[in-house]
Amino acid sequence: MQTTQTADGTEIEYEIHGDGQPLICLHGGMAPREYWQPVIPHFEEYAVVVPQRPGFGTCLDSLDETGPEEVLTREVEYVRALVDAVDGTPILLGHSFGALTAIETARALSADGERAVEAVAAYEPAILPEDFAEHADLADRMQDRLDAGDREGSMKLYVEQVVCAGEVDDLDAWLADWPVWPECVDLVEAVIRMNRAVERHELPERLDAGLPVLVLTGTEGPQFLRDSARAVHEALPSSRLVDFDGVSHSGPSEAPARTADELRAFLDAR
């Protein structure tokens, strides 16, 4: 495990697997080490960087008081710290909220006149379509369950609505076979903060990241995230959209070989 720090002194822990150009993998609402484990072997030519997001896992205590309006700003700062810490010009691969963070980090770097990242691959960025965002209340519903003392029920609501897109008949049986589930329950406060940040984030008409962006989505994920992926693609001046047939919101870990193949093809075609 290696560490670096953001400009305000927040410590960031990360693992590096392999050698080569750094590929920084940014997770969504789940524990990073477990989520990216199936992906790492498919990027043997890269140095795969797997960070522990601030506010999750070992960094949870440092951000307990972070408000939703500050969450995305802090996310961008931690990725910028990683970009500065690794050797070479990295590629950012983000899933869900990590995909939003990857795009926003590229935008921030571009606005500062920096070209410190080569490209971004974003699987179903956690940006809500405008008509969906008007009625989004997942964070409130999760908080209600948490306030009632039901931590597990609060996290189940997130998994049911976002990870499984309401398509799982027996959620308890599904969770029993999901290795990361016990650790996920411990992250409920961080996931509520993340969802509030998503609910308040607005997609601009033009999303200039200053570099090529590969936008990925799956046919079996939540429709609002599929719509969001297309909206992000349309807002970007330089992007490619790829639809994974038969793949859910857990795209990179569910289809790691295809994720790797699409990223390589995207980079080769530039």
Q: Determine the 3-state secondary structure of 178 from DSSP.
A: coil
Candidates 52, 41, 6; CA nearest to 187 is: 52
Query: The domain containing residue 207 runs over which residues?
Result: 2-129+203-269
| Residue 265 covered by a domain | yes
Of how many residues is the chain composed? 270
Q: What is the dihedral of CA 191, 195, 201, 207, to 10 degrees?
A: 60
Has residue 98 been placed in a domain?
yes
> CA–CA separation, 88 vs 14, rounded Å?
16
If one counts the domains in the chain, the total is 1
With tokens 């289809």, the residue in question is 255
Return the ∠ at Cα 112 (arms to 109 and 115), rounded to 5°.
Answer: 45
> Does residue 154 lie in a domain region?
no
251 lies in some domain: yes
Residue 56 belongs to domain with CATH number: 3.40.50.1820
Tell me whether residue 220 is in a domain: yes
Backbone angles phi, psi at 119, to 5 degrees: -165, 165
158 part of a folded domain: no
Say if residues 163 and 38 touch (Cβ distance below 8 Å).
no
Q: What is the pLDDT along the chain (270 residues), one digit of tens a residue?
A: 898 988 888 888 899 999 999 999 998 876 667 789 999 999 999 999 999 776 554 434 444 445 556 778 888 998 999 999 999 999 999 999 899 999 999 999 987 777 689 999 999 999 887 777 777 898 999 999 999 999 999 999 988 888 777 678 899 998 998 777 887 888 888 888 888 888 888 888 888 888 999 999 999 888 888 999 999 999 998 899 999 999 988 899 999 999 999 999 999 987
